[in-house]
């Protein structure tokens, strides 16, 4: 056994790192292991006897396993065999992206130890930023999400922004390695590094304490009703099914109305059935029925739906599809606020899911508009929303966030203005059943609450729906797979 460990020491370290790194996404309650999870990889990077090529292979394998385990809910999706085969190159791609900071550190290690140590956390910051701002963006394993079950450790992001959580986590990992393992090569500056790490840690502790002492806004308050109907996301929608679903939403909303809510929330794409055209919203029969319901319940209704744009010409947005009669159409994933006075406001989703809602690099793939992976929908690539809209009721300003937009905190942050009183996420997380997709996606919303110091409301189809306080604490929560109505009070 000892001989085996000695022979395959580096491979075992790589595997150990992959398991430790994946744990916060598989078992969120042990998210604290992220503070030591990188230590095995750091020991490989700072081992002079390991070549750059060997390091690259070990780090890549570790990061690929980490990403595969952290996104294991993908295997619960109803993809075809071909779809799963097509996932493999993207698994390798994201594994390679996660490997880059360690390879930068290894490359500069021989010429400058100080630079290698500095580059590791800083290059991770750059990689996370870049990976959030391109057509293949994937932020699922950004390091701050490992601590979602520990909101009291994340208060500092209200002051620093969420991106500084990852460098801090990597600094702690570096400190654990330098001070707990035999590292003679660092003896010359270990004391300086020790004081630097202690100083950074004290700053983050003080910011966390300061955040916990920060008062929650309480000038106004509003009662929010969230309707969770628990529809099968894979069910084919015809006119009969659409009518049955609508009647269930109406019935659950009428029950909630007995509590006199200030707002009723339905989930993403809740309103289905006949195509709703953007240019004819005011005269659409489905929208007219929502207006009437809002008037009867005396409460605004926030809901998700697909909206269609019809063109008599071919637009230059790369996503329009020919209808066969000389016209073209586009589809948008939208949030809509319908008010008792008949007023309507809409927001079009700006951050689309690569390959499912939009084909990446579509402008370079002329004539190829259809997404590769389809989950229940057979629409082409959706059109990207171009303008962030604050939806306003008579009493509050709502920042609508649709589904995966909630895992782009910087996107939400830049629009969480003073005119925003509450952040409301509408989502449909039932595609992978009662897996980590639904549970982690819900937990990730705590980041938005803490960073923006505002209440966050999640309205989902199957769960998990939540109301989260500005301190990242769960005030109300539903069970997954249960049709229920959740009512809670927010303050602003």
Stretch 358-386: mean pLDDT, rounded? 67
Is the domain of 284 the same as that of 340? yes
The C-alpha atoms of residue 56 and residue 41 are separated, in whole angstroms, by 11
Is the domain of 182 the same as that of 152? yes
Q: Quick: pLDDT tens for 68-118.
A: 999 999 888 887 777 788 788 989 999 999 999 999 999 998 888 888 888
Is the domain of 202 the same as that of 232? no
* Residue predicted with more confidence, 85 or 251: 251
Using alpha carbons, select from 415, 227, 385 the residue that is nearest to residue 303: 227
Q: Are strands 328-338 and 301-311 parallel, antiparallel or unpaired?
A: antiparallel
Is the domain of 263 the same as that of 361? yes
Q: What is the DSSP letter of 268?
A: T
Residues 6 or more apart whose Cβ sits within 8 Å of residue 320: 311, 314, 328, 329, 330, 369, 383
Instruction: Provide the domain limits for residue 483.
Output: 221-491
Residue 34 tokens, joined: 């992220």
Is the domain of 52 the same as that of 153? yes
Q: Are strands 455-460 and 466-468 parallel, antiparallel or unpaired?
A: antiparallel
Is the domain of 60 the same as that of 146? yes
Is the domain of 131 the same as that of 243? no
From 187, 213, 239, give the residue that closes a domain.
213
User: C-alpha angle with apex 281: 411 to 427, nearest 5 degrees?
Assistant: 35
Is the domain of 48 the same as that of 11? yes
Is the domain of 261 the same as that of 371? yes
From 186, 213, 240, give the residue that closes a domain.
213
The C-alpha atoms of residue 224 and residue 187 are separated, in whole angstroms, by 58
Q: Quick: pLDDT tens for 158-179.
A: 999 999 999 999 999 998 888 7
Is the domain of 227 the same as that of 209? no
Torsion sign, CA atoms 243, 247, 248, 250 = positive
Query: What is residue 274's predicted lDDT score, i.e. its pLDDT?
Result: 75
The C-alpha atoms of residue 348 and residue 357 are separated, in whole angstroms, by 13
Q: How confident is the model at residue 186 (pLDDT cuts 50, 70, 90)?
A: low
| 487 three-state secondary structure | strand
Is the domain of 80 the same as that of 191? yes
Q: Are strands 466-468 and 474-477 parallel, antiparallel or unpaired?
A: antiparallel
Q: What is the CATH number of the domain that holds 355?
A: 3.60.110.10
Number of domains in the chain: 2
Distance set, CA 149 to CA 116, 132, 158, 474 (Å): 31, 23, 17, 10
Is the domain of 139 the same as that of 113? yes
From 213, 247, 280, give the residue that closes a domain.
213
* Residue predicted with more confidence, 358 or 454: 454
């Amino acid at each position: 056994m000892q001989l085996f460990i000695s022979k395959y020491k580096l491979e075992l370290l790589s595997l150990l790192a992959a398991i430790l790194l994946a744990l916060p996404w598989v078992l969120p309650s042990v998210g604290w292991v992220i503070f030591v999870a990188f230590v095995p990889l750091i020991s490989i990077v700072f081992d002079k006897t390991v070549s750059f090529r060997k390091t690259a292979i070990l780090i890549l394998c570790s990061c690929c396993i980490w990403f595969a385990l952290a996104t294991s809910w993908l295997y619960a999706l109803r993809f075809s065999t071909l779809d799963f085969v097509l996932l493999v190159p993207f698994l390798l791609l994201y594994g390679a992206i996660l490997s880059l900071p360690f390879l930068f550190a290894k490359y500069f290690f021989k010429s400058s130890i100080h630079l290698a140590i500095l580059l590791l956390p800083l290059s991770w910051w750059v990689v996370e930023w870049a990976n959030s701002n391109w057509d293949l963006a994937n932020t699922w394993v950004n390091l701050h999400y490992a601590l979602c079950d520990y909101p009291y450790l994340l208060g500092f992001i209200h002051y620093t922004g969420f991106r500084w959580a990852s460098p801090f986590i990597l600094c702690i990992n570096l400190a654990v390695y330098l001070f707990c393992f035999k590292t003679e090569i660092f003896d010359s500056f270990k004391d300086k590094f020790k004081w630097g790490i202690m100083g950074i840690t004290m700053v983050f502790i003080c910011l966390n304490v300061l955040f916990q002492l920060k008062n929650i806004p309480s000038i106004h308050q509003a009662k929010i009703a969230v309707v969770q109907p628990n529809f099968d996301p894979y069910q084919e929608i015809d006119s009969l099914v659409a009518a049955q679903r609508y009647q269930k939403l109406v019935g659950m909303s009428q029950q909630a109305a007995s509590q006199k809510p200030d707002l009723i929330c339905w989930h993403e794409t809740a309103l289905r059935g006949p195509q709703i055209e953007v240019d004819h919203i005011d005269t659409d029969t489905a929208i007219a029925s929502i207006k009437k319901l809002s008037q009867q319940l005396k409460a605004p209704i926030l809901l998700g739906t697909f909206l269609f744009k019809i063109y008599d010409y071919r637009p230059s947005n790369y996503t329009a599809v020919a209808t066969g009669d000389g016209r073209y159409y586009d589809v948008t994933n939208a949030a809509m606020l319908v008010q008792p006075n008949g007023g309507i406001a809409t927001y079009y989703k700006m951050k689309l899911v690569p390959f499912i809602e939009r084909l990446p690099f579509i402008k370079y793939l002329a004539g190829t508009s259809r997404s590769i992976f389809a989950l229940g929908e057979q629409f082409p690539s959706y059109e990207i929303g171009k303008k962030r809209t604050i939806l306003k009721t008579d009493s509050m300003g709502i920042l609508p966030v649709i589904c995966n937009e909630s895992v782009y905190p910087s996107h939400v942050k830049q629009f969480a203005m003073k005119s925003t009183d509450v952040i409301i996420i509408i989502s449909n997380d039932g595609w992978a059943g009662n897996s980590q997709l639904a549970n982690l996606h819900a937990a990730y919303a705590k980041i938005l609450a803490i960073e923006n110091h505002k209440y966050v409301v999640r309205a989902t189809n199957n769960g998990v729906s939540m109301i989260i306080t500005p301190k990242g604490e769960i005030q109300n929560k539903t069970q997954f797979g249960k049709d229920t109505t959740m009512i809670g009070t927010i303050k602003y």
